[in-house]
A = this chain, B = another copy of it.
């Protein structure tokens, strides 16, 4: 499905530098928790909790082998990030931006016509 409605937000999941390191590490090879945590200056339990958050966001998958649990990268949820970012690419290569700024002029009106596709658009203008 396109919107898998994950337990943890991808943006939130990648906000932590430790978790980003975990992702890059697990992209290379599947690894068990003890080995992974050997690369971090914190307890195994702490790393384990980070892994859980990543798993909740769908960014890693676990596989039990005997008494160990191996984790590996699952890049698919990063597509959401990619889509989000794609919206802003128009600000780099699109000439429309300059035009828009010009048209805007100087008025202080707060009305919004275009809004970027934001996942949680709970409250709008009332």
Contact = CB atoms under 8 A, between A and B. Distances in A.
- Work out how many copies of this chain go into the complex: 2
Interface residues of A, number: 56
Contacts of A81: 81, 85
Interface in A80-98: 81-82, 84-85, 87-89, 91-92
Contacts of A25: 112, 115
Interface in A83-126: 84-85, 87-89, 91-92, 100, 104, 108-110, 112-125
Interface string A6-25: 00010110110100110111
Contacts of A116: 23-24, 27
Interface of A: 9, 11-12, 14-15, 17, 20-21, 23-25, 27-32, 35-36, 38-41, 68, 73, 75, 78-79, 81-82, 84-85, 87-89, 91-92, 100, 104, 108-110, 112-125
Given A11-B17, A17-B118, A81-B85, 15 more contacts: A20-B118, A23-B88, A23-B116, A24-B118, A25-B112, A27-B91, A28-B100, A28-B112, A28-B113, A28-B115, A31-B110, A35-B109, A41-B122, A68-B108, A85-B85
